[in-house]
Structure 1
């Protein structure tokens, strides 16, 4: 059974990325060859965290589900805060990866936290697994991009 309301979970993370398609970074370092394995793992995880929620309903009745929702919303807020920092500061490439309040690669970490806690409110082991797979590819790739961006200065 499909649960269209659960599409809000990936949509809220994808929203700033849709704006990003129109407003690309200003100062982009030269392209570095990325790990094919990490890129594939990241792609599989990304596909899963976008598609899987539609198959699970959101349930917020128990204390642990309420706490998970709160952590999701805080993660989403921090994710948006990182995007606002990027858009308000001339769309500098390094701002997509620079630490935010001590959190390294926040635009990678916060969506992963968001999806991990979404797996709690959807009671989806599949979403949890795809979130971990996404993290395994996305965090190292983002760290690599961050180091590349600070070396070009």
Structure 2
């Protein structure tokens, strides 16, 4: 396991944060009605995962090389960006936010979690892998419950 600044981790984080910052300016119309009902345990796991994944991604020691796992992690984030482009061009409803994209369920939640999980595997960093799992349980769990509410 290596530690050291990771340009790959930084780029993945930028790819994560930019659409989320834009989303904060135009969330779905009744998002606040759903967010006030979020499970506190899932919310806590999501926050813990976020706090751990960010620094661990920045300092996981992965540099750019042709590693198939790293390539897949970046491809997933490219798909994530395409999902957001579709959302921003849509009427921005809860259905637009939680619909599948390219047959991927909950792409706004699953794609970045899997991408950072793969970054952890590529870096051979068990802390990033575990942090991604914690993030995934909380983040995907919250989004899954929102999806169930709108169905």
| Fold equivalence (TM over 0.5) | yes
Q: 1:55 aligns with which of 56, 59, 77?
A: 59
Contact 2:42 2:142 in 1 (8 A): yes
Residues 106-145 of structure 1 mapped to structure 2, 5 A cutoff: 106-145=107-146
Contact 2:45 2:138 in 1 (8 A): yes
Quote the offset at 1:25 in angstroms.
1.9
CA separation of 1:110 and 1:148: change in aligned 2, threshold 3 A: same
Q: Does 1:10 align with 2:16?
A: no
Contact 1:25 1:92 in 2 (8 A): yes
Aligned mates of 1:136, 1:53 — CA distance in 2: 18
Aligned mates of 2:149, 2:83 — CA distance in 1: 19
Q: Does 1:45 align with 2:49?
A: yes
Q: Does 1:19 align with 2:22?
A: yes
Aligned mates of 1:11, 1:50 — CA distance in 2: 11
Aligned mates of 2:64, 2:22 — CA distance in 1: 30
Quote the offset at 1:60 in angstroms.
4.6
Quote the offset at 1:28 in angstroms.
3.7
CA separation of 1:42 and 1:125: change in aligned 2, threshold 3 A: same
Aligned mates of 2:77, 2:46 — CA distance in 1: 20
Quote the offset at 1:2 in angstroms.
4.9
Matched length: 147
Instruction: Give the match's secondary structure for 2:33.
Output: coil
